[in-house]
Structure 1
Amino acid sequence: MEKKEIRKKILEYRETIDIDQRKIWDEEIFKSLINSDLYKRSNTIFAFVSFKSEVDTHKIINHALSNGKTICVPKINSKQEGIKIYKIDNFDQLKKGYFGILEPVESCEEVDRDTLDLILMPGVAFDRHGGRVGYGAGFYDRFLSSMNKEVYKVALAYDFQVMDTVPMDQYDVRIDGVITEREIIQRD
C-alpha cells in the first residue's frame, strides 16, 4: 500500500475505536513506558502532546513532570521553521496552536535539541524495522534529520498500527522502537 492509503485506512479505523477501549490500551502503554529502563534513564524527554485518537500522552507528561523529569514539547510556527522545542512545567502552559494541537505558550523556554535524552513520537503506522508513516507534512523527519546527537526515538501506538512493512522514502528517518499496548518493539 502507498502511504496515502495507509494513512486513510489506519486513521479511519483508529477513529472508530471505542474511547473506553483506547483508555485501557493507553494505560498499558503508559505502564510499559514508565517501567522501561529507557524512561528511567532519561532526564529530558521530548513528547508529542496527543491529539484526537492518538495514544494519550497527557498522563505520561504529567507523570514525568511529577517525577522531576524535564519535559519538552513541540511547537510549529510555520512549515519553513518546522518543529521548535519548548520546556513546560505544567499543562497550563499549553494552548491550541497548529491544527488545534496543544502547544507551549510564548513564555515557555526554547530548548536546544542536543539536551534531549528520549523522543516520544506520534505517527500513523510503523513496522519492526524502524519504518514510520507520519501524517504527511514531514515535520518529524526534518526535525530528526537535524539532530546532532543520537537520541532514542520511540513511537507510541496501538498494536493495529504496526504493520509488516511500511513504505519509506529517502528523507524518512527510521525510529528505534514502538511501544504498543501489547509489546515493546525494538528495531531489528
Structure 2
Amino acid sequence: MNDIALQKKQLRQQLSAIRNSLLEQLRLQQSEEACKHAAELIHMNRIRSVLVYVPFRSEVDTWPLIHWCWQHQVKVLVPRCDVATRAMILYPLYNKDQLRSGAYGIMEPDDQQLQPSDDIPEAVLVPGLAFNNKGQRLGYGGGYYDRLYERLKDQTVWIGMAHEQQFVDDIPVDSYDIVLNFVVSNKGIGTFSIE
C-alpha cells in the first residue's frame, strides 16, 4: 500500500467514526438543512436533471432533496452499481417503490421496473467521508464516482453533500480523484473553481 492509500485508509476510518457518531436527530436536521441549500443551488443554476445518491447509513439524507426535485420538475436519476466493472448505470427514479436492495446493501433502481437512461445529468450529487475547502473529497475507495467523473467531468456540475463535521483541512488525493464544483452542507454552499 503506497503512502497516499495508507493516508486515505486512516482518514476513512477516522471520518467514518465521526459521521457514524452523530445522533440521528442531529443528522436528520443537518440533512434537511443541506438539502435546502442544494435545492437553492439547483434552482439558482436552472439545473433540470440531477444524479442523486440514495442515502445509506450515516450519509447526508438526500430524500428531502429528491422530493423537492420531483415537486419542481427536476429529473431525478439514481445510480446502480455494476460490481463487475465498478461502473455506475444511471436510471430515472419516479418514486421510492422503484428501489430494491442492491450492491453493498444500498437501495438501487429495480431493473425489472426501470430502464437505464442515456441522459447526462446536469448535476451529480456525491456522498463522501471527508471534504475540504479546495473541492476535494474522500470517498469510500470503490472508485465508482471517480470513473463516472472521468466520463462526465466536463459535461456536468459536481456537488458534494456533507455534514459540517466532515470538513477537514487536508485530503490525500490521487490524479484521478474528483474535484467538486460545490460542497453543500448544513452550513451552506461552498464554491470552487476547477483548474
Q: TM-score range by the shorter chain?
A: over 0.9
Provide the rounded CA distance (Å) in 2 between the counterparts of 1:58 and 1:79. 28
Q: Which amino acid aligns with 2:115?
A: E
Aligned to 1:50: 55
Alignment length (residue pairs): 187
2:142 maps to 1:137: yes
Residues 120 and 153, structure 1, Cα contact 8 Å, conserved in 2 = yes
1:40 to partner: Cα distance: 5.6
Among candidates 82, 88, 95, match of residue 90 of structure 1: 95
Among candidates 32, 39, 60, match of residue 34 of structure 1: 39
Q: Which deviations, in whole Å up to 9, do the C-alpha atoms of 1:30-70 show, x marking residues without a partner?
A: 21111225566111110000001000011211221122211
Among candidates 13, 17, 41, match of residue 18 of structure 2: 13
Aligned to 2:9: 4
Q: Which deviations, in whole Å up to 9, do the C-alpha atoms of 1:104-143 show, x marking residues without a partner?
A: 01121211253x1111101111111121110001110011
Q: Which amino acid aligns with 1:108?
A: L
Q: Which amino acid aligns with 2:108?
A: E
1:155 to partner: Cα distance: 0.6
Q: Which moved more, 1:140-149 or 1:152-161?
A: 140-149
Residues 113 and 147, structure 1, Cα contact 8 Å, conserved in 2 = no
Q: Percent identity, aligned pairs only? A: 28
Q: Which amino acid aligns with 1:111?
A: S
Q: Any stretches of 5+ residues in structure 1 without a counterpart? A: none
Q: Which deviations, in whole Å up to 9, do the C-alpha atoms of 1:133-168 show, x marking residues without a partner?
A: 100011100111012742110011011211112111
CA spacing shift, 1:173–1:113, aligned 2, 3 Å: farther
Compute the TM-score of the two structures, normalised by the length of structure 2: 0.90
Cα RMSD over matched residues? Answer: 1.7
CA spacing shift, 1:77–1:17, aligned 2, 3 Å: same
CA spacing shift, 1:70–1:37, aligned 2, 3 Å: closer
Among candidates 63, 79, 85, match of residue 68 of structure 2: 63
Secondary structure in 1 matching 2:51: strand
